[in-house]
Structure 1
Amino acid sequence: MAAVSMLIVIGCWFRTEKALMKAFRNDQLSPLFLLMTPFLFGLLGINEPWLILKSGLFICLLYYIGMFDLITYTIPRFSHYLIGVMGLIGIQNQLSQHLLAGLILCLPFLFLYWLQRFLDKCQVGWGDVLYVLSATFYLGLIPGFIGLVVGLMLFIIGGVLTKDYSRGYPLAPALSIGFLVGLLVMF
């Protein structure tokens, strides 16, 4: 059963890259895609087939959202719902804990979003707020918090290293890496 779950994950992983290549009219595989592909096989160390599937699809969505935001400065609308649905799989009696974690960790982003709307300086978009909400709901409180801290540190470092400040720096790629670290903390 684990092999079937892994085959589904690998199929989705390659389909994700194909969708990005088609959307941005690129005919080459991303170096990041090639670098991360062998690490997906680390999921085979998990004994539960549903957890392999759930974690693998979450990694695919993290990659897709990060790359999409890096190129377009937007987050696809469907991604939040997919992460939320995947977060519901297998949590049984921990639903209230995951909901609370998502809401607590999302509050600073929500406050920042409304403050920026009031000041007419939108850097954090509604997609970023929903992304944080859905990913922290998926991960839970401690892994979600660790993912946010790592992602925000990477965002600050990336913002400092960026020479062109006219367009800003996208938040989702850094958060995607942070949430991947949070996922690793879960195991």
Structure 2
Amino acid sequence: MYQVILASGSPRRREILEQCGISFRTEKSNAEEIITQTKPCEVVKELSLVKALEVADRVKEGDYIVLGADTIVANGDMILGKPKSEKEAEEMIAAIQGHEHSVYTGVTAVIKKNGAQKQITFYEETKVFIAAMTEEEIADYVASGESMDKAGAYAIQGLFASYVKGIEGDYYNVVGLPVCALMEHLKENGVNLKKDCRR
């Protein structure tokens, strides 16, 4: 039996694991997020690995799976992180409204069993199609406060849903954890998260 540790303070990632019936605890990573990559898919992989390893180093006993994840929004090659102000949030949404952009989530699973440790790192990409928005609609959305702790300045599962025309790929990847891909990668490495780590 593994102890599953989510190396994230994200309530969205917690909700996804809870929805899947997986028993876990959270330990937020304190790792310094230094980026050496430039491609969005490599950036999220790098950050997820740093987060997972920092938390795994703290776990001293037993068999465990530490899950680290990082999500970014990319408009072309431009990475849109969490906005630092309402003005920046409005600029981000103005940049993505009316066309498609990509959401990338990198995931790392650090698995320790019988003293041996290995790691799996992968990423998922989902294309998101946003309806055209007026300046007033953008300002009203940002004024709701929902933008401020979200990559790309929006939450697909929140008030912004009314502007999402469609997606191509995994919805849960946009929320913050591509859980189906995670399950598949773990199964390939001999771990059945649903069976071995039930709530």
How high is the TM-score relative to the length of structure 1?
A: 0.29
Which structure's residues are more often helix, by fraction?
A: 1
Decide which structure has the larger Cα Rg and report it. 2
**TM norm structure 2:** 0.28
